[in-house]
Structure 1
Amino acid sequence: MTHPKNISGLVSFWDFQEPAGQPRQAIGSFPASLREGAAPVERAAGGIFGDYCAQLSRGQYFFLPHAECGELRLRESLTVVAWIQRHRKPEIECEAVAGMWNETDRQRQYALFLDLRIHGGADNVCGHLSSSGGPTPNHRWCMDAAIGGTRIPYFDWHCVAFTYDGSEARTYLDGAFHPRDSFNPFPYPGGIFQGTADFTVGAVHRQGSMGNWFVGKIGGLAIYRRSLTSEEISSLIVDPS
């Protein structure tokens, strides 16, 4: 297994070792400190890159205000990788893992989602992109996303990722690229909108408030300024046992 810090192009990597009430500190070229949102986020034993991980419940998230997002404001290419354990929640809705995505104010940029529920994306890894910040023309929502074709099980650790190289987006589950006609890879030559969204983990701002909660554990999060290769993505797989 390759540690995320040893792959070139790293912007920020968080291992979520800190206890509730403390900022979560990144390493990388942009060592940002994530703040807790509406409520403290507890840490749980049994992490991926250390003894602990973050335990996110409904209504909990991390954020970085847009004014402090710095190198996370990516426009031409990127990779988002997260090591997560997905848990069930009472409602059926998409689950935001991490990115800069404000639907309320039409400031969509990029975000890694699960269970997006468009284009048959239920229970799959999804990489959402917007070149305009608003909805896709002739649609109520943004419909532009790479969507895999393999369901993500609950209560086990998985590595989920999406890449964008300026021309197309791809999603990966546990290091594997699962092709899906028209959606994985997803052609998208428009680039990424330069908006004013905050960077958030575990939720996004939509319909006037925070939501699209990710419920479960997150053991690591890495953002790169380039599209990682399939070989690099597969090298990031961790066996937590």
Structure 2
Amino acid sequence: MSKQNVRNRITDHPSLVAFWDFQEAAGELRQAQGPFGYALEEQEGPIERVEEGVFGSYSAKLNFGQWFNLPREACPALDFHGKEAALTLIAWVKREQRDNRECQAIAGMWNETEKKRQYCLFLDLGIWDSAEQVCGHVSSTGGPTPGHPWCMTTAIGATPVTKDEWHTVAFTYDGAYARTYLDGRLDVRETYNPYAYPEGLYDGGAAGADFTVGAVYRSGTMGNFFAGCLGGLAVFNRALDDEELAQLV
């Protein structure tokens, strides 16, 4: 399917919250399309626009240590919480080779330092014998999983996400299960994808986590940086099904 058709399916979808295509130049706010025109703010200097795009001629090139921030008070429609919480988060990414291996946050409301975790799409979580896969982190408590130093409640796929190639990565939560997808396909893994989690999502209230793209707040500072190109990011307010996600590659 052409990327114009994919764009139309996204922007016309009745459950869309916000869609960023990252066509703006470095130094500009990245403005969302859809019912909520939320603007992502660059952090740690201008984020380069490179001539290699998914939904246009360009994408945003995040160097290690850069990220986008969207203050919590500015994006109430992204605050998914409670027993009835449901969402889909999709990103079009081209991750780069790195000397160090560290989990990479793509997007979500996930503040580990202040124990205000809600949801976040990751790559490379090193838990449950995992490495390079797509991960959909969910938390009902905001803090670490009892008996562990970290939050362990996550859907993790089976397939490594290769470097220096474009991929569509996604995760959904429907109030009962978290699921992760790679290139439009549910990446089934026994026990971990789908991942049973009927507890719902943490309610951080007015002082909860910001929506961050390319990093999360942890260990008292920003970290878990994504390094590479980001060609698109879409958030929906329900869990899209397998057929819908297959049409958004």
- TM bin, normalised by shorter chain, reads over 0.9
DSSP-derived class of the 1:79 partner: strand
Letter in 1 for 2:30: R
Conserved? CA contact 1:39–1:59, under 8 Å: no
Conserved? CA contact 1:63–1:198, under 8 Å: yes
Do residues 197 (structure 1) and 209 (structure 2) align?
yes
Query: TM-score of the superposition, structure 2-length normalised?
Result: 0.93
Which consecutive unaligned segments of at least 5 residues does structure 2 have?
A: none
Do residues 176 (structure 1) and 182 (structure 2) align?
no
Look up the match of 1:71: 77
Do residues 137 (structure 1) and 146 (structure 2) align?
yes
Mapping of 1:3-152 within 5 angstroms? 3=7, 4-75=10-81, 76-152=85-161
Offset of residue 206 of structure 1: 0.5
Do residues 232 (structure 1) and 241 (structure 2) align?
no
Offset of residue 7 of structure 1: 2.3
Counting aligned pairs with the same residue, the percent is: 53
Offset of residue 13 of structure 1: 0.3
DSSP-derived class of the 2:131 partner: coil
Look up the match of 1:208: 220
DSSP-derived class of the 1:27 partner: coil
**Aligned partners of 1:88 and 1:150: how far apart in 2?**
17
Farther-moved stretch of structure 1 (101-110 vs 3-12): 3-12
**Aligned partners of 1:85 and 1:24: how far apart in 2?**
18
Offset of residue 69 of structure 1: 1.9
Conserved? CA contact 1:99–1:199, under 8 Å: yes
**Aligned partners of 2:100 and 2:52: how far apart in 1?**
27
**Aligned partners of 1:100 and 1:38: how far apart in 2?**
19
**Aligned partners of 2:203 and 2:49: how far apart in 1?**
33
Offset of residue 81 of structure 1: 0.1
Letter in 2 for 1:70: P
Offset of residue 88 of structure 1: 1.8
**Aligned partners of 2:243 and 2:22: how far apart in 1?**
25
Look up the match of 2:167: 158
Which consecutive unaligned segments of at least 5 residues does structure 1 have?
A: none
**Aligned partners of 1:34 and 1:40: how far apart in 2?**
12
Offset of residue 67 of structure 1: 1.4
DSSP-derived class of the 2:232 partner: strand
Conserved? CA contact 1:30–1:70, under 8 Å: no
The ranges of structure 1 where at least 4 consecutive aligned residues each deviate by more than 6 angstroms after the TM superposition are: none
**Aligned partners of 2:62 and 2:180: how far apart in 1?**
23
Farther-moved stretch of structure 1 (69-78 vs 143-152): 69-78
Offset of residue 46 of structure 1: 1.5
Letter in 1 for 2:42: E
